[in-house]
Structure 1
C-alpha cells in the first residue's frame, strides 16, 4: 500500500500558531483587525498553505473569524459574550477550587504557591506577558489537581478567551494586588482541605474580575 500525504513542518506551524495566538491575546493584533494572508505570510516568512492551516486552528479556538469573500479578522468579544464567558468560568472555577481542596497533593499546593509568587512579582512593572504566563500556570495547576477532567477540559478550551478578557480587569490600577490576596485565600482554603470555602473564594474571585472587566468594556463601547 502506498499512502500519499503532504509532509508539513509541524514545529514551524506550531510556532506560527503560538506567536499569532500571543499577539491576539496581548492586543498586538487588535479585536476586529483584518488579517491579510499575504502580509501574514511575509511577516512570518511561511507559505500561504501553512498560514491558512494556522488561521483555521485559531478560528477553531474562537480567536479569529473567517468570513467568506472577506477573509480573516481578529474576533471581537461582545459584552453579552463576555457575560456568558464569565458566568461559565465562575461555575467551573468554583468546581475546580472545591475539587482541588479534596484532591491536591502537597506538590500541587507548592506549585500553586510558586505560581502565585510569580504573579505577585509582576506588581509594579508592565510585563503583561509574564503576568499572563504566571496566571495561566496557576490555573493549569489548579485544573490538573481538581480531579475533574471535564472541568479541566472545558476551562482549558475557554482559556484563550478568558485571557483576552483579563486585559480589561488586570489593567486596572490596584487590581493585581487584590488578585494576589484573593488567590492567597484560595490556596489557604485548599491547604486546609475546605472544599466549600475554596469553591466560594474561586467564585468570588471570578465575580470581582467580571465586574471590573464588564464595566470597562461597557465604558469603551458607550
Structure 2
C-alpha cells in the first residue's frame, strides 16, 4: 500500500489522518503492531509534528493506543469490548432499519437495493476484503441517511471504525458472506414492503449472527470473564 501523501488543497493533517485510518481499517497495519514514527514519516513524506497530530486524532477514535515507554501501537479490540460494541450496534441498527422502513424516500430505498446489488456482485465474483468492506459501508451509509434519526446515525458513525475492524473478523469466516447477503436481502425486502417491525427484527438478528461469528473467532478469554 502506497502511503505517500500528495500535496493537495485539503489540510495535510487531514490527509495523513485519512491515509493512516485507511491503513488500519484495511489491515495494512495489524492490531497490536507498533508504529515507528521515523518510518511513518518517511513513508508518508511528512514531518513528525504532523504525524503526531494525526496519531492523536486516531487515538481519540480508538484506532491507535499510545503505550508508555513503547509509543503508538494499533489498538486491539478485546473480547469484552467487542461484545459491548455488538450489543450497542444491535440496538442501534434495529432502530435504523425500522426508521428507514418508515421514513426513507423511494429513491433512498432504491439506492439501498442498488447497494445490496453491489454486495451480491462481490459475492458472485470475490474481490478484496477492502472492496467488500467499502461496499458494506456504503450500504449502511444509505441506511443511516434514510432512517430519520440523527442520534442513531451519529452514534453508529462514531462506532463505525471499530465496527469495520470487527466486520473484517466476521466476514473472514468461511461461508459468512453468502449468509450476510441473504440476511441483508431479507432486510431490504422488508423495507421495500414498508414493514418496519420486520425490518427492525431482521436487523437485530443480522447483527446477532455477525456477533456470534466474530466472537467465536476472537476467542473467549480463559475463565469466561466476559460472560
Structure 1 length-normalised TM: 0.92
1:151-182 Cα shifts (integer Å, max 9, x gaps):
00000000000000011110112111111111
- Residue correspondence of structure 1 range 166-205 to structure 2 within 5 A: 166-205=167-206
Separation of aligned partners in 1, 2:68 and 2:13: 23
Q: CA deviation at 1:129?
A: 1.3
Separation of aligned partners in 1, 2:120 and 2:22: 22
Match of 2:64 in 1: 64
Separation of aligned partners in 2, 1:163 and 1:172: 15
Structure 2 length-normalised TM: 0.90
Separation of aligned partners in 2, 1:155 and 1:51: 27
Match of 2:209 in 1: 208
- Residue correspondence of structure 1 range 17-56 to structure 2 within 5 A: 17-56=17-56
For structure 1, which segment, 20-29 or 44-53, has the greater mean C-alpha deviation from structure 2 after superposition?
A: 20-29
Separation of aligned partners in 2, 1:40 and 1:24: 13
Which runs of at least 4 in structure 1 moved beyond 3 Å after TM superposition?
none
- Residue correspondence of structure 1 range 1-222 to structure 2 within 5 A: 10-123=10-123, 124-218=125-219
1:9-53 Cα shifts (integer Å, max 9, x gaps):
743322221221111112111111111111110110101111011
- Give unpaired runs (5+ residues) of structure 2: 1-8, 223-227
Separation of aligned partners in 2, 1:164 and 1:22: 11
Match of 1:5 in 2: none
Separation of aligned partners in 2, 1:201 and 1:87: 15
Q: CA deviation at 1:121?
A: 1.4
